Amino acid sequence: MTEREQQILELIKLDPMIAQSTLADMLNISRSAVAGHIMNLTRKGFIQGKGYLIAPDRFAVVIGGANMDLCGRATSDLVMGSSNPGALTASAGGIGRNIAESLAQLGTKVEFVSAVGDDSWGEQLLDSCRDADVGIEHCLVTSNQATSTYLSIHGPDGTLQLALNDMSLFNELNAQQLAKRAPLLNRATVIAIDANLSDSALEYLFQTQASKPIFVDPVSVLKAEKIKPYLSCIHTLKLELAEAELLAGVDSSKRIRLPQIAHKLHEMGVKQLVINLGAQGVYSSQEKKGHFHNRSDSSLSLKTDGQEGLLAGLVHGYLQSANWQRSVEFGMVAAGIASNSEHAYLQRQGRQTTQPRATRTFEKDADLGLYYD
């Protein structure tokens, strides 16, 4: 929305029956210019119908995981089966919570739906959302289970040695609980979810909200299987390469072009998708038209951490009526902000942020823009 369109919209909100000539006089522009701006506002969905009926607030609902991240880093070589000296930290995390926080940081109105226990960690998670201006009125607080946690143990060099997660609480956020939140879901402009949700919740959402744009983060290869039956209902999919290969049904041991993977997913019904390629950037595809975005396409580097910011940027772009490529740029910048924030946090905790990871390389095909493993 342009600055002039914002001015006109604010005046219309004050007086929905205001005449175009009055708007022109107030803003010192021609009536034809006012008519053009109103036409643009109508096309973008901010004005609906005659009499300047103002469209309801555009906002996102994020439904997904919220958990406390517990991290231990040994100060010397780990000795298995024994107590080891080290540094321990706890922080608010969870894919869904992180997406919601990133959206709020971008200036998007967002309501978060998750499940936490009625305990101190649950309250910390809710406080983190309040501090970020994320709506939590519709979160489920249950007293029969503890708040979800993710525990990771790292060696002195920061390399992950072992991790455990306790996410059983999210089974409480089932279809019945989501049905109680139907008024919120029905008002939402867009819904973003992660695959931490139970099968019951996923089935309910894709059956009742299929007409609404649904953005999805599969979370992991294991959990990506849960969304495979619903690909035809997914508007936008943000995923890692291994998750894309699984959902597209391709052999990861072969040299597969990214456009072929994207084409298969489009044939299954996914409208838009972004495949994260780590340090090399992302591959985006819409209507079977793909584009490779390297790190220099964004003002901030796209790192492995902070990927929830990537999906948040895509949602933000949609709510701003941005075109697809602009939305991908929003996503890359948001991912950079999130990863840089994570980097700063880890440095404050005295933890190493660079960890050895399994990497895959991509080579440029003879045709511009085609990359494959």
With contact defined as beta carbons under 8 Å apart, do 20 and 31 qualify? yes
* Distance of alpha carbon 89 from alpha carbon 307, whole angstroms: 21
Question: What are 45-77's pLDDT values in tens digits?
Answer: 778 666 666 666 789 999 999 999 999 999 999
Q: For 95, what's the count of Cα atoms within 13 Å in the CB-facing half-sphere?
A: 23
238 shares its domain with 340: yes
48 shares its domain with 66: no
Alpha helix locations (H) across 29-119?
Answer: 31-43, 95-105
Domain termination residue (choose one: 54, 77, 97): 54
Q: How many domains does the chain have?
A: 2
Question: What are 144-198's pLDDT values in tens digits?
Answer: 889 999 999 999 988 889 889 898 999 999 999 999 999 899 889 999 999 999 9
Alpha helix locations (H) across the chain?
Answer: 3-14, 20-27, 31-43, 95-105, 120-131, 175-180, 182-187, 199-208, 221-224, 241-248, 258-267, 308-319, 324-348
Predicted TM-score (pTM) of the model is: 0.76
98 shares its domain with 149: yes
Question: What are 179-188's pLDDT values in tens digits?
Answer: 999 989 988 9
Span 295-318, average pLDDT:
68
pLDDT at 247 over 50: yes
pLDDT given at position 42: 83
With contact defined as beta carbons under 8 Å apart, do 196 and 219 qualify? yes
Among 8-22, 25-39, 134-148, the minimum mean pLDDT is found in 8-22
Residues of the chain with pLDDT > 90, as a percent, come to 58
| DSSP summary character for residue 321 | T
Q: Which domain holds residue 45?
A: 3-54
148 shares its domain with 270: yes
195 shares its domain with 235: yes
pLDDT given at position 73: 92
Question: What are 258-294's pLDDT values in tens digits?
Answer: 899 999 999 999 999 999 887 788 899 998 789 988 8
9 shares its domain with 152: no
75 shares its domain with 213: yes
pLDDT given at position 18: 86
Q: What is the mean pLDDT of the chain?
A: 84
Q: How confident is the model at residue 129 (pLDDT cuts 50, 70, 90)?
A: very high
pLDDT given at position 304: 36
43 shares its domain with 179: no
pLDDT given at position 363: 53
pLDDT at 257 over 90: no
pLDDT top residue among 65 and 342: 65
CATH number at residue 208: 3.40.1190.20
Question: What are 327-336's pLDDT values in tens digits?
Answer: 998 888 888 7
347 shares its domain with 326: yes
Domain termination residue (choose one: 54, 69, 91): 54
pLDDT given at position 78: 92
48 shares its domain with 67: no
228 shares its domain with 251: yes
pLDDT at 298 over 80: no
| DSSP summary character for residue 227 | G
pLDDT given at position 350: 38
pLDDT given at position 332: 86
CATH number at residue 7: 1.10.10
Beta bridge partners of 140: 115
Domain termination residue (choose one: 38, 54, 70): 54
With contact defined as beta carbons under 8 Å apart, do 264 and 285 qualify? no
45 shares its domain with 95: no
pLDDT top residue among 165 and 111: 111
